[in-house]
């Protein structure tokens, strides 16, 4: 299963592809701000806006060491480091993403605060109580053993540490349409309902302190994306670089999933009792 999930996200020569797209967009890779990479490295619904909102709810500061589970190309982790001055360790199943994330961190001068390693969310390569906070953004959809994932996050968090979740969940409108951005086939998709997520977090030993349904905001965002695409196709830098030839179908299915309530977008913030 891990290999199948990794294959879904793998992209050959991803750094070279991003560099070429940056230049096509008029950007110099030697003179970038973290926000310049957001069209491609904030690979989730509502992008950098959603990341900023979740960061505010996580309550981090410059003294903290934060874990990013499913760190992808590293956009959210670099936002935390740039705006709060905290250290962030990212872990992702896809080795090519980890390698690319490290290069991108160097481009924006944040390689001293962020680090990335390939690994499994079900067996985190960190000591108990190692982190002050943790988050996961659009990662659990590909993980079937969610109880173990959340138990692992709880294990590596210090007592009193916060954990934020922003994920795609199962909506009330029926099964999702595929291919979707997180899965070309339902065999690697493991969505849970909002009620099931609440129960999973509680059973893992977390106390939920914040909960927000952002499904309608996600719908609005995808309508805006669709309007921009209809006006002349994708810009040089964007998620289409990662999704390849199937981008248009995946984006269309994602919008339909949201419009028909087949998926829900939930932000949750919880705490490891201390």
User: To the nearest whole percent, how much of the chain has pLDDT over 90?
Assistant: 88
Token pair for residue 45? Answer: 């619904």
Check residue 189 and give its pLDDT: 98
pLDDT class of 244 with cuts at 50, 70, 90: confident
230, pLDDT greater than 90: no
pLDDT at 134 (0 to 100): 98
> What integer best gives the mean pLDDT of the chain?
95
pLDDT on residue 98: 96
Confidence tier at 11 by pLDDT (50, 70, 90): confident
**Sign of the torsion formed by the C-alpha atoms of 59, 65, 69 and 72:** positive
Backbone angles phi, psi at 62, to 5 degrees: -70, -10
Confidence of residue 132 (pLDDT cuts 50, 70, 90): very high
With bands split at pLDDT 50, 70 and 90, how would you rate the model's confidence at 274?
Answer: confident
Alpha helices in 59-145 (DSSP H): 75-84, 95-107
Find where tokens 């059973």 sit: 203
Q: Is 54 helix (H, G, I), strand (E, B) or coil?
A: helix
Q: Which residue has the tokens 């849970």?
A: 192
pTM: 0.96
Which token pair is 43?
A: 């690979």
Question: What per-residue confidence (pLDDT) applies to 10?
Answer: 85
Return the CA Rg of the chain.
Answer: 17
What CATH number belongs to 2-169+190-216+263-269? 3.40.50.150
> What are the tens digits of pLDDT across the range 189-203?
999 999 999 999 999
DSSP assignment of 123-185 equals S-SS-TT-EEEEEEES-GGG-S-HHHHHHHHHHHEEEEEEEEEEEEEE-TT-SPPSSBTTBSS
Per-residue pLDDT tens over the stretch 61-108 = 999 999 999 999 999 999 999 999 999 999 999 999 999 999 999 999
Q: Using the predicted structure, report yes or no on whether residue 233 has a pLDDT greater than 80.
A: no
Residue-wise pLDDT tens digits, 205-226: 999 999 999 999 999 998 988 8
Count of C-beta atoms within a 10 Å radius of residue 225: 19
Q: Which residues contact 14 (CB under 8 A, 6 or more apart)?
A: 73, 96, 97, 100, 241, 242
Length of the chain: 274
Q: What is the pLDDT, as a whole number, of residue 112?
A: 98
CB atoms closer than 10 angstroms to residue 219: 17
- Give the pLDDT of residue 202: 98
* 22-58 per-position pLDDT tens digit: 999 999 999 999 999 999 999 999 999 999 999 999 9
- Is cis: bond before 138, omega within 30 of 0? no
């Amino acid at each position: 299963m891990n290999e199948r999930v990794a294959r879904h996200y793998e992209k050959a020569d991803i750094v070279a592809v991003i560099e070429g797209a940056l230049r096509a967009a008029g950007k110099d890779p030697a003179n970038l701000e973290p926000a310049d990479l957001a069209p491609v490295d904030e690979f989730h619904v509502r992008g950098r806006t959603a990341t900023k909102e979740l960061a505010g709810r996580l309550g981090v500061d410059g003294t903290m060491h934060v874990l990013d589970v499913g760190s992808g190309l590293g956009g959210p982790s670099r936002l935390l480091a740039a705006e709060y001055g905290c250290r962030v360790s990212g872990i992702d199943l896809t080795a090519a993403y980890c390698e690319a994330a490290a290069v991108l961190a160097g481009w924006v001068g944040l390689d001293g605060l962020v680090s990335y390693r390939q690994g499994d969310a079900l067996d985190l390569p960190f000591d108990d109580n190692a982190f002050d906070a943790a988050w996961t953004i659009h990662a659990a959809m590909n993980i079937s053993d969610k109880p173990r994932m959340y138990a692992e996050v709880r294990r590596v968090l210090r007592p009193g540490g916060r954990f934020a979740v922003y994920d795609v969940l199962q909506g009330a409108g029926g099964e999702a349409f595929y291919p979707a951005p997180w899965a070309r086939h339902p065999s690697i998709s493991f969505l849970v309902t909002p009620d099931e997520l609440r129960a999973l977090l509680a059973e893992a030993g977390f106390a939920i302190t914040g909960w927000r349904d952002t499904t309608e905001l996600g719908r609005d965002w995808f309508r805006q994306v669709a309007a921009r695409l209809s006006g002349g196709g994708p810009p040089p830098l964007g998620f289409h670089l990662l999704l390849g030839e199937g981008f248009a179908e995946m984006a269309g299915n994602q919008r339909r999933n949201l419009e028909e309530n087949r998926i829900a977008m939930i932000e949750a913030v919880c705490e490891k009792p201390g």
